[in-house]
Amino acid sequence: MERAMKPIIRVIAAFALTLGLTVSPLAQAASISGEVKKIDESAGKITLKHGPAKSLGMDEPMTMVYRVKDPAMLKQVKVGDKVSFEAEEAASGYTVTNIQKAK
């Protein structure tokens, strides 16, 4: 019985791994358009007013405070800039992983 279960467990593990790899790119953050409302360099946070952020499950426009993955990103923008950004949800809240001035 135990011998028969090992191949099944391997197949299930391989399937789970494959599923995880194929779902992962879909879970990547899509670019979100917004405007910088406030920058708090000492706290590593930025306040962004943005439209719907489907990649984060937000269907309505809103203004939110985000942590930034790299505090150096805060030096690339200033209050009032129109930006395009990517963010991800973590246990501690939402984190901006990439930000750039809109073209």
pLDDT in tens, 36-54: 999 999 999 999 999 998 8
Write b or e for each residue in 46-67: b if 16 or more Cβ atoms lie within 10 A of its Cβ, otherwise e.
bbbebeebebbebeeeeebebb
Q: Is residue 1 part of a domain?
A: no
Q: Is residue 21 part of a domain?
A: no
Q: Is residue 85 part of a domain?
A: yes
CA angle 31–36–37, rounded 5-degree value: 140
Can you tell me the mean pLDDT for 56-71?
A: 93
Q: Is residue 4 part of a domain?
A: no
Q: Is residue 92 part of a domain?
A: yes
Domain holding 71, by residue range, is: 32-101
Domain count, the chain: 1
| CATH code of the domain in which 55 resides | 2.40.50.320
Q: Is residue 2 part of a domain?
A: no
Q: Is residue 52 part of a domain?
A: yes
Q: What is the pLDDT of residue 30?
A: 79
Q: Is residue 60 part of a domain?
A: yes
User: What are 58's two structure tokens?
Assistant: 């937000």
pTM of the model: 0.70
